[in-house]
């Protein structure tokens, strides 16, 4: 497995680029990439010719998360302005505007079946769920306060929620917090199940393995410099991998579940072989911290290949061929 030399768009945005996600292909469109930036815009990219197809405005502050519906027809963006904007990908028409208290949305993810949008809720120590039919708030998954703390205990603020991920079957949600814990919820019952521990600093990114035989496997990236691999059902830490010189800001897994990509504040993108449990490639094409990495869908001609995208504080966007 390897990543080819990147094709880089040096000034993809006018400010730091904090988030990226792939929009699944539709009958009339190939897979595209959405990016969000501190310049308050969301941009849609065609990786085939490295062109920006449209620039979406509407947020008043920096965009911290973008998410694409499984249908590839709608997407959502969240900003520090506390609003979530849901829009039609092809027309950029706003479908819904969802409001949360200030700085209460840090990461968005649609459920695998597309019926629900989850938002990691910042200082509310919760994940909020909206249905995608009527865009109504249907549940708030609250992380329980540690037994030893009181409502006024300052340590409770460490439950600030930064990241969220759906299990492949849509039955569970994992969310990562500022204190390094990962909380697992039963979605149907809107019930907290248990914590996964092991990190000692903020957990900024989470992703479940899409491989059929490994769908209980959860990957996490943390400011402590480690990538953890958990058995989310068995509540156990399978392994821990390190190598980055600083915070690990983003993690994603390839469609076949054999490789990980990570982005770090050490300005590198790393490719990890999960069988070897080691980094096999380090790319240093970014000149500032790498906020997001995202594997695209398998190639139509050769399903063993795909594109990987990365975005950075250096305002650039890079595409790598993975094979």
Reported as a single tens digit per residue, the pLDDT across 209-223 is 998 778 899 999 999
Q: Is 133 exposed, middle or buried (0-12, 13-18, 19+ CB in 10 A)?
A: exposed
Percent of the chain topping pLDDT 90: 82
Work out the average pLDDT over 184-212. Answer: 95
Average pLDDT (251-255) is: 96
Residue 102 confidence class, pLDDT cut points 50, 70, 90: low
d(CA 194, CA 181): 10
Question: Which residues contact residue 69 at a Cβ distance below 8 angstroms, ignoring those fewer than 6 apart?
Answer: 75, 76, 110, 114, 132
- Token representation of residue 114: 């597309």
The pTM score is: 0.94
- Which residue is listed with tokens 């200030």? 102
pLDDT for 211 equals: 82
Residue 156, pLDDT > 80, answer: no
pLDDT of 64 above 90: yes
Long-range contacts of 186-193 (CB under 8 A, 24+ apart): 187/111, 187/116, 187/129, 187/139, 187/141, 190/129, 190/139, 190/140, 190/141, 192/141, 192/142, 192/143, 192/144
pLDDT at residue 155 in the model: 46
* Averaged pLDDT, 289-316: 93
What integer pLDDT is reported at residue 148 of this predicted model?
46
Cα–Cα distance between 66 and 21 in angstroms, integer?
A: 6
Please report the pLDDT score of residue 104 as a whole number. Answer: 78
Q: State the sign of the Cα–Cα–Cα–Cα dihedral 85, 293, 90, 63.
A: positive
The pLDDT confidence band at residue 146, using thresholds 50, 70 and 90, is low
Q: What is the CA radius of gyration of the chain?
A: 18
pLDDT given at position 147: 56
Taking residues 130-150, report their average pLDDT.
83
Lowest mean pLDDT among 7-11, 84-88, 211-215: 211-215
Q: Reduce the DSSP state of residue 279 to 3 states and report it.
A: strand
- What SS3 class is residue 17? strand
Higher pLDDT, 252 or 103: 252
Q: What is the mean pLDDT of residues 33-44?
A: 97
What is d(CA 104, CA 128) in angstroms, rounded to the nearest whole number? Answer: 10
The pLDDT mean for the chain works out to 92
- Is the predicted pLDDT of residue 184 greater than 60, yes or no? yes
């Amino acid at each position: 497995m390897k990543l080819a030399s990147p094709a880089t768009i040096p000034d993809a945005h006018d400010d730091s680029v904090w988030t990226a996600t792939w929009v699944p292909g539709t009958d009339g469109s190939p897979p595209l990439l959405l990016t969000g930036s501190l310049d308050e815009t969301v941009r849609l990219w065609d990786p085939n010719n490295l062109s920006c197809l449209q620039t979406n405005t509407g947020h008043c502050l920096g965009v911290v998360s973008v998410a694409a519906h499984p249908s590839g027809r709608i997407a959502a963006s969240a900003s520090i302005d506390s609003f979530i904007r849901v829009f039609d990908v092809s027309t950029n028409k706003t479908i819904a505007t969802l409001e949360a208290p200030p700085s209460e949305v840090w990461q968005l993810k649609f459920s695998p079946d597309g019926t629900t949008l989850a938002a990691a809720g910042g200082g509310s120590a919760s994940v909020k769920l909206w249905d995608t039919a009527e865009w109504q708030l249907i549940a708030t998954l609250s992380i329980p306060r540690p037994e030893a703390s009181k409502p006024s205990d300052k340590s409770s603020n460490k439950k600030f929620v930064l990241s969220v991920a759906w299990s492949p079957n849509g039955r569970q949600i994992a969310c990562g917090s500022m204190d390094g814990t990962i909380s697992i919820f039963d979605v149907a019952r809107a019930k907290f199940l248990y914590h996964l521990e092991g990190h000692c600093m903020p957990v900024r990114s989470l992703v479940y393995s899409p491989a059929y035989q490994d769908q209980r496997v959860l990957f996490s990236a943390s400011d402590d410099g480690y990538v953890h691999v958990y058995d989310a059902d068995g509540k156990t830490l399978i392994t821990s991998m390190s190598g980055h010189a600083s915070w690990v800001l983003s993690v994603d897994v390839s469609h076949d579940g054999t490789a990980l990509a990570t982005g770090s504040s050490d300005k590198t993108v790393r490719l990890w072989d999960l069988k070897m449990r080691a980094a096999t490639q380090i790319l240093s094409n970014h000149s500032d911290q790498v906020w997001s990495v995202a594997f695209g869908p398998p190639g139509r001609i050769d399903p063993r290949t795909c594109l990987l995208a990365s975005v950075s504080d250096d305002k650039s966007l890079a595409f790598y061929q993975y094979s």
